[in-house]
Copies of this chain bind each other. A is one copy, B any other.
Amino acid sequence: MKEKATSFDIAHMAGVSQSTVSRALSNSPLVNKETRERVQRIAKQLNYKVDKNASNLRKQKSNTIALLLFEDPTTDDSLINPFFLNMLGSITRASAAAGYDLLVSFQNLDDDWHAEFEDSKKADGIILLGYGDYTAYRDKLAQLEEQGTHFVRWGAKDNDHPGISIGCDNYQGGYDLTRHLIQLGKKTCAFIGDAGGHAPEFLARYQGYRQALVDHGIAVDTFLRLDANSTDEAGYNATQTLLNTSSPLPEAIVCASDLIATGVLQALKENGYRVPEDVVVTGYDNISISAFTTPALTTVQQDTRLAGELLVSSLLKAINKQAVEDYLMPGELIIRESCGASQHQA
């Protein structure tokens, strides 16, 4: 290989200083158009490549966003839940659109992820995404703040840490769904999904469901709340339990996720129950399969595309020392046949 051209060679040929070459190659407005184009043309002729890593180190910028993905320890670790997979795609897209690469790193909430990036120059800021109860990890968030690490997280607003949360209004989504079923005349509604402390999204959906019942004078029957993590298998098994313990079957089954709901539909079908005639079923998330199940699922859409854009744009604001506001995205009720809507309404 012949020796590589340096910025000195280019400066010599273009008749400008090395710093002008550097500015011209980074499209700095400080260099006039004509000079910029001359420098860029010569650089191209010489097959000159900017050492971006060195260049960014000088600017103390990596042009990289780190995405820490937290596992749901309760589900098969070979798969990514479709909602988070969509978020991964959306965040990747939004980062690229902003000119940033995305460094994806799986983490366990119990690990020392809060310290991992303290001295690292790998990324300019961090997006925290995944299941899990961050309330148990307040100390780690506080340490990130103390370190001056720029970060935002996917989740509901945390009053102890304002300006770092982009999330979806799971409470309102659960409320809207359940109110819709009550308005359709359903008086007994089961809820399938883990409503424990380590699943705050599901818990908020449950609390919305519960409040809708209370507001409409319907007693909350704790026997109609069944745990399930976000898999079709868990939904299937919870439905078998419900069929064994509840007679008659409730008129509606509110599921904490679409994946759970697909398992519920399967179990009902195998046991000879018709949806929506015998029992109506709803999901949550509007993942791609929910429009294709038989019947198609009524659900709440979380706009993952917008979510990715908001997470990235908020993080870039933080990196640029601008104020970031918490944002709770509204969920959108998507009504399909599984709650009795006709195909024409869907």
Judged by a CB distance under 8 angstroms, whether A139 is at the interface is: no
A78 touching B305 in the complex, CB below 8 Å, given contacts A289-B289, A292-B294: yes
Question: Is there an interface contact between A103 and B103, defined as CB atoms closer than 8 Å?
Answer: yes
| Chain copies in the assembled complex | 2
Question: Is there an interface contact between B104 and A101, defined as CB atoms closer than 8 Å?
Answer: yes
Distance, CA A215 to CA B95, complexed state (A): 49
Distance, CA A86 to CA B69, complexed state (A): 16
**Chain A 78-106 per-residue mask, 1 if CB under 8 angstroms from chain B, else 0:** 11101001101100110110000111111
A92 touching B106 in the complex, CB below 8 Å, given contacts A78-B305, A288-B82, A294-B294: yes
A96 touching B101 in the complex, CB below 8 Å, given contacts A49-B119, A288-B82, A293-B292: no
Closest chain B residue to A1, Cβ basis: B146
Residues of B within 8 A of A118 (CB): 49
| A285 CB, nearest partner CB in chain B, Å | 13
Judged by a CB distance under 8 angstroms, whether A16 is at the interface is: no
Residues of B within 8 A of A35 (CB): none
Question: Is there an interface contact between A93 and B119, defined as CB atoms closer than 8 Å?
Answer: no
Question: Is there an interface contact between A92 and B104, defined as CB atoms closer than 8 Å?
Answer: yes
Question: Is there an interface contact between A92 and B78, defined as CB atoms closer than 8 Å?
Answer: no
Judged by a CB distance under 8 angstroms, whether A120 is at the interface is: yes
Residues of B within 8 A of A80 (CB): 89, 92-93
Question: Is there an interface contact between A49 and B103, defined as CB atoms closer than 8 Å?
Answer: no
Closest chain B residue to A84, Cβ basis: B89
| A131 CB, nearest partner CB in chain B, Å | 15
Q: Which of B64, B86, B115 contacts A49 (CB 8 A)?
A: B115
Residues of B within 8 A of A64 (CB): 103, 122
Residues of B within 8 A of A53 (CB): 119-122
Distance, CA A88 to CA B289, complexed state (A): 19
A96 touching B106 in the complex, CB below 8 Å, given contacts A49-B118, A51-B119, A292-B292: yes
| A337 CB, nearest partner CB in chain B, Å | 11
**Chain A 219-244 per-residue mask, 1 if CB under 8 angstroms from chain B, else 0:** 00000000000000000000000000
Closest chain B residue to A47, Cβ basis: B115
Q: Quick one: which of A102-132 are within 8 Å of B by CB? A: 102-106, 112, 115-116, 118-122
Question: Is there an interface contact between A96 and B85, defined as CB atoms closer than 8 Å?
Answer: no
**Chain A 163-201 per-residue mask, 1 if CB under 8 angstroms from chain B, else 0:** 000000000000000000000000000000000000000
Residues of B within 8 A of A54 (CB): 119
Judged by a CB distance under 8 angstroms, whether A321 is at the interface is: no
Residues of B within 8 A of A344 (CB): none
- Among A47, A53, A89, A122, which residue has the most Cβ atoms of chain B within 10 A? A89
Residues of B within 8 A of A291 (CB): 289
Q: A52-B116, A93-B106, A292-B293 are in contact. List 14 more A-B contacts (CB 8 A).
A: A47-B115, A49-B115, A49-B119, A52-B120, A53-B121, A54-B119, A64-B103, A77-B93, A80-B89, A80-B93, A88-B89, A92-B106, A101-B103, A103-B104
A-B contact pairs, 22 of them (CB 8 A): A47-B115, A49-B112, A49-B118, A49-B119, A52-B119, A53-B119, A54-B119, A77-B93, A80-B89, A85-B85, A85-B86, A85-B88, A88-B88, A88-B89, A88-B92, A95-B104, A96-B105, A101-B122, A102-B104, A104-B104, A288-B288, A292-B293
